[in-house]
């Protein structure tokens, strides 16, 4: 038997709310398939199952908030016999908040006093889609539960009015999550910072030619070159591609680049582009586009949030020339790129205008030293001079 537990989907995630099960008891499930949708402080996340088998038990009810690590489901792995009633699993789900409201007045406005909102998963989903704040709704279902009908009615009456509240709430929660992770980073991680200016003339010329050949649907952005170059440079300085766990470095064999994506309503997420060193630029671009789209639509997968082994941030879009980032724990490094700008450059004894970019490295001094960090940036520079090999 394998247990499916509430996963950690961020450095400071301590609990999550089950929005809905994507599988029913008795359903077969394959490793990597989505088993549940979980609501975290940042977004609703589709959570993948790490085992193949049959869904034997679902222990958490939609709407329940449980701590990270709580067993939420039991998966019977292929070849194992079904659990008989003689061997009952006695796993008590540990809801953080009571799964039932205290027996107050049946139509008490939900959640205004900190009690959990009673709302059906379908209603919750519709409310999120329509941007309606369900806390203001009067539930007509059992025990004042807000039903799909209630949300539909509200959506018809006040189309769009609730958007601001919901977005503002989500933003406030995301702000808190970012605050916790960044405060922990600055409290615990002794950062050191390095930067270098990289001549981008070869890379941009290559990109222009390459995009001239490509149909509009397959064109590349310079940020994909950066991501790929970082991934390849990490092979030379692998200690930057690691996690800090329980007082020691755990190097990662695989290179999953967390890409910082700003959300239009404010806040950011940094989901992973898995095995970025092994993907071609075209494939990486498609995956990057898909990732940005899903990040902004709020439909990321659990592995994308839990797997990054390093983060890349590009603030060049805002016109910033240099960014020194804050490492996202438990990662041990972050690479930043500023805007590509034209600057005087000395080549062969002549001053010429060249497009250049400032690349920076923020790294954990417990794990690596400035010398190795410098080698990493030098390797990054070298790789960007040979864009055709990326």
Partner 1 sequence: MTTASSDAETRAQILRLLGDIAPEADLACLNPDVGFRDQLDLDSMDFLNFVVSLHKTFHIEIPETDYPKYMTLNGCVAQVAASRT
- Smallest gap from Cβ 263 to partner 1, in A, equals 10
Q: Per CB under 8 A, which region of 56-64, 183-191, 219-227, 270-278 contacts partner 1?
A: 219-227
Is 127 within 8 Å of 107 (Cβ atoms)?
A: no
Site map (CB under 8 A) of partner 1, residues 156-185, x = contact: -----------x------------------
Intra-chain end-to-end CA distance of the chain, in Å: 43
Q: Per CB under 8 A, which region of 260-268, 305-313, 326-334, 381-389 contacts partner 1?
A: 260-268
- Smallest gap from Cβ 200 to partner 1, in A, equals 14
**Backbone phi and psi for residue 164, each to the nearest 5 degrees, phi listed first:** -60, -45
- Parallel/antiparallel/unpaired status of strands 310-314 and 333-337: parallel
- Smallest gap from Cβ 317 to partner 1, in A, equals 4
Site size for partner 1, by CB under 8 A? Answer: 18
Q: Per CB under 8 A, which region of 151-159, 180-188, 204-212, 347-355 contacts partner 1?
A: 204-212
Among 1, 221, 243, 375, binds partner 1 (CB under 8 A): 221
Among 217, 245, 344, 348, binds partner 1 (CB under 8 A): 217
- Smallest gap from Cβ 257 to partner 1, in A, equals 16
Among 52, 97, 211, 252, binds partner 1 (CB under 8 A): 211
Quick count: other Cβ atoms within 10 Å of Cβ 271? 26
The counts of H helices and E strands in the chain are 8, 20
Alpha-carbon dihedral angle through residues 122, 70, 242, 260, given to the nearest 10 degrees: 20
Q: Per CB under 8 A, which region of 67-75, 186-194, 205-213, 329-337 contacts partner 1?
A: 205-213
Give the list of residues 6+ apart from residue 118 with CB closer than 8 angstroms, or none: 63, 101, 110, 139, 141, 143, 144, 145, 146
- Parallel/antiparallel/unpaired status of strands 300-301 and 261-262: unpaired
Among 125, 153, 219, 287, binds partner 1 (CB under 8 A): 219
Q: Is 201 in the site for partner 1 (CB under 8 A)?
A: no
Quick count: other Cβ atoms within 10 Å of Cβ 235? 11
Tell me the residue length of the chain. 390
- Smallest gap from Cβ 334 to partner 1, in A, equals 19
Nearest C-alpha neighbor of 35 from the set 45, 49, 24, 25: 49
Percentage helix, strand, coil for the chain under 3-state DSSP, each rounded to 5: 35, 25, 40
Nearer to partner 1, 108 or 292 (CB): 292
Site map (CB under 8 A) of partner 1, residues 271-310, x = contact: -----------------xx--xx-----------------
Q: Is 223 in the site for partner 1 (CB under 8 A)?
A: yes
Q: Which two tokens stand for residue 368?
A: 């690596």
Q: Which two tokens stand for residue 266?
A: 């404010």
Nearer to partner 1, 139 or 316 (CB): 316
- Smallest gap from Cβ 314 to partner 1, in A, equals 9
Q: Dihedral of CA 107/110/115/118: which sign? A: positive
Question: Interface residues with partner 1 (CB under 8 A)?
Answer: 167, 208, 211-212, 216-217, 219, 221-223, 262, 264-265, 288-289, 292-293, 317
């Amino acid at each position: 038997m394998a247990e499916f537990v509430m996963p950690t989907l961020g450095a400071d995630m301590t609990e999550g709310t089950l929005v809905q099960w994507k599988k029913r008891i008795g359903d077969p499930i394959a490793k990597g398939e989505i088993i549940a949708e979980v609501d975290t402080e940042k977004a609703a996340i589709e959570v993948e199952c790490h085992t193949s088998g049959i869904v034997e038990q679902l222990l958490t009810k939609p709407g329940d908030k449980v701590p990270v690590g709580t067993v939420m489901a039991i998966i019977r792995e292929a070849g194992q016999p079904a659990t008989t009633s003689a061997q009952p699993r006695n796993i008590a789900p540990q809801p953080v908040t009571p799964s039932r409201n205290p027996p107050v007045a049946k139509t008490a406005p939900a959640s205004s006093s900190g009690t959990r909102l009673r709302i059906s998963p379908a209603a919750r989903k519709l409310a999120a889609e329509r941007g309606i704040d369900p806390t203001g709704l009067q539930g007509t279902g059992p025990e004042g539960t807000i039903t799909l009908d209630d949300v539909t009615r509200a959506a018809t009456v006040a189309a769009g009015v609730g958007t601001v509240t919901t977005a503002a709430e989500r933003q406030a929660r995301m702000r808190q999550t970012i605050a916790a992770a960044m405060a922990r980073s600055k409290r615990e991680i002794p950062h050191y910072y390095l930067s270098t200016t990289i001549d981008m003339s070869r890379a941009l010329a290559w990109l222009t030619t390459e995009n001239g050949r490509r149909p509009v649907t397959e064109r590349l952005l310079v940020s994909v070159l950066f991501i790929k170059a970082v991934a390849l440079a990490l092979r030379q300085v692998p200690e930057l591609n690691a996690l800090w766990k329980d007082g020691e470095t755990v190097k990662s064999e695989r290179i999953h680049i967390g890409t910082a994506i700003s959300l239009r309503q404010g806040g950011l997420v940094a989901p992973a582009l898995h095995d970025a060193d092994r993907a071609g630029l075209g494939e990486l671009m498609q995956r990057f586009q898909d990732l940005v789209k899903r990040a902004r639509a709020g439909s990321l997968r659990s592995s994308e949030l839990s797997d990054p082994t390093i983060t890349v941030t590009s603030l060049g879009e805002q016109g910033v020339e240099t960014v020194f980032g804050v490492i996202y724990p438990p990662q041990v490094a972050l690479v930043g790129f500023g805007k590509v700008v034209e600057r005087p450059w000395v080549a062969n004894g002549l001053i010429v205008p060249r497009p250049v970019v400032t690349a920076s490295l923020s790294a954990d001094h417990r794990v690596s030293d400035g010398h190795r960090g410098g080698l990493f940036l030098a390797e990054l520079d070298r790789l960007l001079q040979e864009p055709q090999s990326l």
